[in-house]
A and B are shown apart, each in its own frame.
Chain A
Amino acid sequence: MIRIPCPHCGPRNSDEFSYIGEEKRRPGPDTSPTEWRTYLYSKSNPAGWTTEQWFHAAGCGKFIVAERHTVTNEVRATRPKPRFERSNAGAEAGGGSS
């Protein structure tokens, strides 16, 4: 079982978390079916680094963002939510770096 460094609680077994999915931005209300269904159903699922959301259900109850390598399962960084309103969200890899 991999460990996920929760930015709030420290490294924890992944079975404390539920996997939410890749980070996505919700389209606005005047969306098109194609754009909306891409948001709902499409995953890029790279063999490599991915930025994804986890929910620390059996822990602090917070949604977090993790950068995980889908091949090696290495989690190189996690950060707390919220992040959408942060100006430099992409540059932030602080918090619970593994």
Chain B
Amino acid sequence: MPTSTRRGNGSVAEPVARSPIAPAGPTGTRGAWEVSSAHSKAALRLADMTALSKVLVRGAPGEVAPLLCEHLRARREDGSLIVGTGPDSWLVLAPTGRSDAVSEMIASRLRGCTSLVTVIDVTHGSVVLRLSGESARRALEKVCAIDLSDRATPNGSSFRSRVAAVVSTVVRDDVDGDPSYLIVSDRSSGQFLFDALADAGQEFGIGLTGYPEQEI
């Protein structure tokens, strides 16, 4: 049975936040989160990044996009990644435990907007996976119908489509020149998606790796 740290008689220690994905290998903690501390040196790697803070922003395209990011693009800013997930919606990914700070920052930036603006912490509603390595594109195109060529999906672009039949936001977010994709999907099918990607990557020798020091 999964264990939370308990003290006697119902009183409990610090709450533990968990990803829906069973951690690969040994675990550690990052803030309240239990994370995998595995380390893979495989040429293709899959990591569970669910502990990231996630903030959803809704607003009028004309007012908000210039202040955040265009649809189908992603922009890095102050240690966070702002992703245009629709003409009137944005997702901000930030290090774990930062959702309140990010929400406040975004809300204050959008204070001048005349149309309705909504900023919601959706950290708990999604999983985030990172698929990295030379063959990341070839593995991903086994389960995603979008053209992933550099021409159609260059670094810094994003799209929303199905990955392994699960509706997901995909961000091409290379790390030090190494091709890499962030995949954000509904939390409840997170384990399914993780397993499907691990399966798609098998022919490329995929390795499961842990939550990185450099979160985003």
Contact, chains A and B (beta carbon distance below 8 A):
yes
Binding site for B on A (CB under 8 A): 8-10, 12-13, 16, 57-62, 80
Q: How far is the CA of A9 from the CA of B161 in the complex (A)?
A: 10
The minimal Cβ–Cβ distance linking A87 to chain B, given in whole angstroms, is 19
Number of residue pairs A-B, CB distance < 8 angstroms: 31
Across the interface, which residues of A come within 8 angstroms of B145, CB to CB? Answer: 13
Given contacts A16-B162, A58-B162, A59-B160, 4 further A-B contacts (CB under 8 A): A8-B87, A9-B160, A58-B167, A61-B160
Contact indicator A57/B167 (Cβ below 8 Å): yes
The minimal Cβ–Cβ distance linking A30 to chain B, given in whole angstroms, is 31
Q: How far is the CA of A57 from the CA of B162 in the complex (A)?
A: 10
Query: When A16-B162, A80-B87 are in contact, do A60 and B167 touch as well, CB less than 8 Å?
Result: no
Contact indicator B162/A60 (Cβ below 8 Å): no
Across the interface, which residues of A come within 8 angstroms of B71, CB to CB? Answer: 8-9, 60
Closest chain B residue to A12, Cβ basis: B161
Q: How far is the CA of A53 from the CA of B160 in the complex (A)?
A: 20
Q: How far is the CA of A60 from the CA of B85 in the complex (A)?
A: 7
The minimal Cβ–Cβ distance linking B196 to chain A, given in whole angstroms, is 15
Across the interface, which residues of B come within 8 angstroms of A59, CB to CB? Answer: 159-161
Can you list 21 pairs linking A and B with CB atoms under 8 Å apart? Answer: A8-B71, A8-B87, A9-B71, A9-B159, A10-B72, A13-B145, A16-B161, A16-B162, A57-B167, A58-B160, A58-B161, A58-B162, A58-B167, A59-B160, A59-B161, A60-B86, A60-B87, A60-B160, A61-B86, A61-B160, A62-B86
Across the interface, which residues of A come within 8 angstroms of B167, CB to CB? Answer: 57-58
Q: Which of A16, A60, A62, A80 has the most C-beta atoms of chain B within 10 angstroms of its own C-beta?
A: A60
Q: How far is the CA of A13 from the CA of B145 in the complex (A)?
A: 8
Mask, B80-94, CB within 8 Å of A = 1, is: 000001110100000
Q: How far is the CA of A12 from the CA of B147 in the complex (A)?
A: 10
Q: Which of A13, A57, A59, A62 has the most C-beta atoms of chain B within 10 angstroms of its own C-beta?
A: A59
Which 3 pairs from chain A and chain B are nearest by CB?
A60-B86, A58-B167, A8-B87
Q: How far is the CA of A95 from the CA of B160 in the complex (A)?
A: 19
Across the interface, which residues of A come within 8 angstroms of B160, CB to CB? Answer: 9, 58-61
Closest chain A residue to B162, Cβ basis: A58
Across the interface, which residues of B come within 8 angstroms of A60, CB to CB? Answer: 71, 85-87, 160
Q: How far is the CA of A51 from the CA of B87 in the complex (A)?
A: 22
